[in-house]
Structures are given as structure tokens and as C-alpha cells.
């Protein structure tokens, strides 16, 4: 007779049949575990431990997965109904000074936007650079100066203001940069239906104001949690954020002069009644009413080339198709920041 193996002896000693199958008595949980451990040895302990560890790893990965950005409750720089809805406390104590002198780069610069995933993810962030005034006084002073009527069509009068307490910015240079952008034939006067005139007193249609971030958040809201500018129609003020004026935007790749032209033309475009645009022009340029501070990626995945002008040369479809409503803006923000 063949001698039973150790494994067979272990199975015999553990009991042969559970109740209902072999007629034997039902074993307790302790007996069943001892039988299982006796049969599988160290593997009986390793398998449950491995299961627990695997579950913890899966949970840890899931809990640290990047969350999608919050949907914008209000679009950047658009309607008066979204303005002054939120007053947010400053998130840092940045102070400082920076030169606002525009660079001498070509106005028609078409430097290609870097469209790598890393750049796309970083687009809404404020680029590194010079310090700027984070908090002003909340009051504004008009920069003295006036102009003749620029262009033909419906006349809009405006002032150029700077928030008191902002330092490191030459106010006259700021005003000159704004005027250079708006008096260019590629700007809004190029439509033949709009005329602009700078004044420093009397009634105006809007004020173009360089503002500190805390004031921008108070006037424009802070639902997107990034530094933006806006048109606050309810108070008749085009609000240009000094942080962006100083640093620009990632997709402009350091071209601060063209970014400033874009910021002026985009926000003044809102003051003139234009909505945001979310599609490239036929030649691949971004329309000036695209939120280029956030990014230039369309719903179809196309990355437009940055553009500061409403009517750039060689574009038959400028200033571009526009869309109204917060949902289109929220979708644009999400695909350019996630």
C-alpha cells in the first residue's frame, strides 16, 4: 500500500465533507481557516495581505487623480451681469514694481504658439517675471491727454486711468501704449463703423483703467481663480490687470508688446459690444475676442496662433465668429486648462 503523502494526511485530518454534501458536521470558521492554512501554508497569509495592499494602492491613485477645473460661474471680461459678483481676498502678498515700457517687437509678430501638452496645461497661469503691485487703493486717476477722432462711424469717448497705489508703471507710457493699439488701422477703427476719441474730462462711454489684482477681483469677480482682465460694463470701466500688463500670458511666449495690444483690443472690444470667439480665423490666427490669456485651443483641438488685432492683414473673416453665453466660455476654459 502506498504511504499517504503529508498533504493527503492534512486533508484527512481537516475533515472531508461540509454539511449537506458528505453528511458530516459543519465546521466552525476557526476550523475551516486552520484547514485552509494547513493546506496552503504561507500562501494562506500572503494572498489576503496582497489583496489589501493592492486595494490601498488603487485607492491612493484614485484619490490623487487631478480634478477638472471648476466651471466658470462667470466669463472673463464679458457682460455687466457677471461683474462685481465676487470679492475675493488676496491669495498672496506680492508687492511691487515693474517697468511698463512696451518692447519694440514687430506689431505683426506671428511667433508660433508652443502647443505641447505641458504648455496647454500651463496656459491660464501667470508667467514668471517682474514683480507688480498686488493691491492698490481702489481709486483711479485720469492720465491727462486727449486725441482727435480716430476712424469713422459711431463715436465712443474714453479716458485712460491708472489705479492709485500702483508703482513701477510709467503712466504716460501706459497711456501711449493704449493709444498706439487703438489708433492702428488693424484695431477696431479698421471696420469703418467705429470711431474712438480719448478725452480727459467730460462724459465718456468707458474708462480704460490699469488696475491692481485685488481691485480687478472686486470689480470683475474671481470665479476662475486666475489673473484676468475684464470689461465692467455696469461701472463703465475697461479693467486691465497690472499683473498681466507686467507678465503677459504663456501662449504669447514672452512677446509682451503684442500681449498688451491684445489685452487693450480684447477688452475694448467688449466695451464696443463684442462677445467671445472660440474658433480660429481661416488663416489659423486667433480672433482678438478669443480669451488668449487662457489659451488658444478650440473645441476641435486646433491651436490658433496668437493675434492682438481685430483686423489683421490677410483675414477675410475677421474679427471672427462670436458666441454668447457662459457655457461656451466655461467649455473653452476647461479644454485649455485640463
Q: What is the 3-state secondary structure (H, E, C) of the chain?
A: CCCCCHHHHHHHHCCCCCCCCCCCCCCCHHHHHHHHHHHHCCHHHHHHHHHHHHHHHHHHHHHCCCCCCCCCCCCCCCCHHHCCCCCCCCCCCCCCCCCCCCCCCCCCCCCCCCCCHHHHHHCCCCCCCCCCCCCCCCCEEECCCCCCCEECCEEEEEEEEEECCCCCCCHHHHHHHHHHHHCCCCCHHHHCCEEEEECCCCCCCEEEEEECHHHHHHHHCCCCCCCCCEEEHHHCEEEEEHHHHHHCCHHHCCCHHHHHHHHHHHHHHHHCCCCECCCCCCCCECCCCCCCCCCCECCCCCECECCCCCCCCCCCCCCCCCECCHHHHHHHHHHCCC
Residue 113 CB partners (closer than 8 Å, separation 6+): 119, 251, 253, 296, 303, 304, 305, 306
Is the pLDDT assigned to residue 186 strictly greater than 90?
Answer: yes
| Inside any domain, residue 51 | no
pLDDT (0 to 100) of residue 224: 86
| Inside any domain, residue 25 | no
Q: How far is CA 336 from CA 131, 278, 298, in A?
A: 26, 11, 8
pLDDT (0 to 100) of residue 172: 98
Mean pLDDT of the chain: 76
Question: What confidence tens digit (pLDDT) does each residue in 306-334 have?
Answer: 999 999 999 999 999 999 889 999 999 99
| Inside any domain, residue 175 | yes
Nearest to 127 by CA among 119, 139, 115: 119
Question: What confidence tens digit (pLDDT) does each residue in 11-38 have?
Answer: 333 333 333 333 344 445 555 656 555 5
| Inside any domain, residue 235 | yes
Question: What confidence tens digit (pLDDT) does each residue in 232-276 have?
Answer: 999 999 999 999 999 999 999 999 999 999 999 999 999 999 999
| Inside any domain, residue 307 | yes
Question: What confidence tens digit (pLDDT) does each residue in 53-91 have?
Answer: 444 433 343 333 333 222 222 333 333 333 233 233 333
DSSP lists the bridge partners of residue 130 as none
* Residue with more model confidence, 101 or 232: 232
- Backbone angle region of 34, left / alpha / beta, with phi > 0 → left and psi within -120 to 50 → alpha: alpha
Cell of 222: 474671481
Cell of 107: 506689431
Q: Tell me the C-alpha distance between 225 and 95, whole Å.
A: 19
The angle at the Cα of 129, spanning 124 to 131, to the nearest 5 degrees, equals 105
Question: What confidence tens digit (pLDDT) does each residue in 266-295 have?
Answer: 999 999 999 999 999 999 999 999 999 999
Q: Tell me the C-alpha distance between 13 and 6, whole Å.
A: 11
Cell of 42: 504561507
| Inside any domain, residue 43 | no
Could you tell me the residue range of the domain that residue 156 belongs to?
Answer: 80-93+109-335
Q: How far is CA 89 from CA 120, 134, 140, 337, in A?
A: 28, 11, 20, 23
At which residue does the C-alpha cell 481661416 appear? 282
- Going by pLDDT thresholds of 50, 70 and 90, the confidence category of residue 46 is low
Q: Tell me the C-alpha distance between 220 and 223, whole Å.
A: 9
| Inside any domain, residue 283 | yes
Please tell me the least confidently modeled range out of 148-152, 177-181, 281-285, 323-327: 323-327
pLDDT (0 to 100) of residue 39: 58
| Inside any domain, residue 7 | no
Q: Tell me the C-alpha distance between 123 and 162, whole Å.
A: 27
Whole-structure pTM value: 0.67
* Residue with more model confidence, 234 or 122: 234
Number of domains the chain is built from: 1
Nearest to 224 by CA among 99, 103, 78, 115: 78
Amino acid at each position: 500500500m502506498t504511504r499517504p503523502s503529508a498533504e493527503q494526511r492534512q486533508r484527512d485530518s481537516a475533515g472531508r465533507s461540509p454539511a449537506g454534501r458528505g453528511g458530516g458536521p459543519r465546521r466552525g470558521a476557526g476550523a475551516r481557516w486552520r484547514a485552509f492554512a494547513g493546506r496552503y501554508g504561507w500562501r494562506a497569509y500572503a494572498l489576503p495581505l496582497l489583496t489589501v495592499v493592492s486595494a490601498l494602492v488603487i485607492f491612493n491613485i484614485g484619490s490623487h487623480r487631478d480634478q477638472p477645473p471648476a466651471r466658470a460661474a462667470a466669463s472673463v471680461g464679458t457682460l455687466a451681469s457677471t461683474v462685481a459678483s465676487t470679492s475675493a481676498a488676496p491669495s498672496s502678498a506680492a508687492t511691487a514694481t515693474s517697468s511698463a515700457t512696451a518692447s519694440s517687437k514687430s506689431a505683426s509678430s506671428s511667433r508660433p504658439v508652443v502647443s505641447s501638452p505641458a504648455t496647454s496645461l500651463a496656459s491660464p497661469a501667470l508667467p514668471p517675471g517682474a514683480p507688480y503691485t498686488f493691491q492698490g487703493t481702489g481709486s483711479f486717476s485720469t492720465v491727462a491727454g486727449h486725441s482727435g477722432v480716430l476712424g469713422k462711424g459711431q463715436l465712443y469717448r474714453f479716458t485712460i486711468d491708472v489705479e492709485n497705489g500702483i508703482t513701477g508703471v510709467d503712466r504716460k507710457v501706459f497711456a501711449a501704449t493704449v493709444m498706439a493699439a487703438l489708433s492702428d488701422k488693424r484695431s477696431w477703427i479698421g471696420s469703418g463703423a467705429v470711431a474712438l476719441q480719448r478725452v480727459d474730462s467730460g462724459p465718456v462711454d468707458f474708462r480704460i483703467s490699469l488696475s491692481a489684482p485685488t481691485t480687478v477681483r472686486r470689480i470683475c469677480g474671481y470665479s476662475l481663480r486666475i489673473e484676468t482682465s475684464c470689461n465692467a460694463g455696469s461701472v463703465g470701466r475697461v479693467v486691465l490687470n497690472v499683473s498681466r500688463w507686467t507678465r503677459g500670458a504663456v501662449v504669447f511666449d514672452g512677446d509682451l508688446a503684442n500681449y498688451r495690444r491684445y489685452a487693450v483690443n480684447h477688452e475694448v472690444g467688449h466695451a464696443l459690444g463684442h462677445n467671445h470667439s472660440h474658433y480660429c480665423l481661416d488663416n489659423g490666427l486667433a480672433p482678438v475676442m478669443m480669451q488668449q490669456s487662457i489659451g488658444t485651443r478650440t473645441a476641435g483641438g486646433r491651436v490658433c496662433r496668437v493675434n492682438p488685432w481685430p483686423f489683421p492683414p490677410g483675414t477675410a473673416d475677421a474679427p471672427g465668429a462670436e458666441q454668447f453665453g457662459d457655457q461656451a466660455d466655461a467649455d473653452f476654459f476647461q479644454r485649455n486648462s485640463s
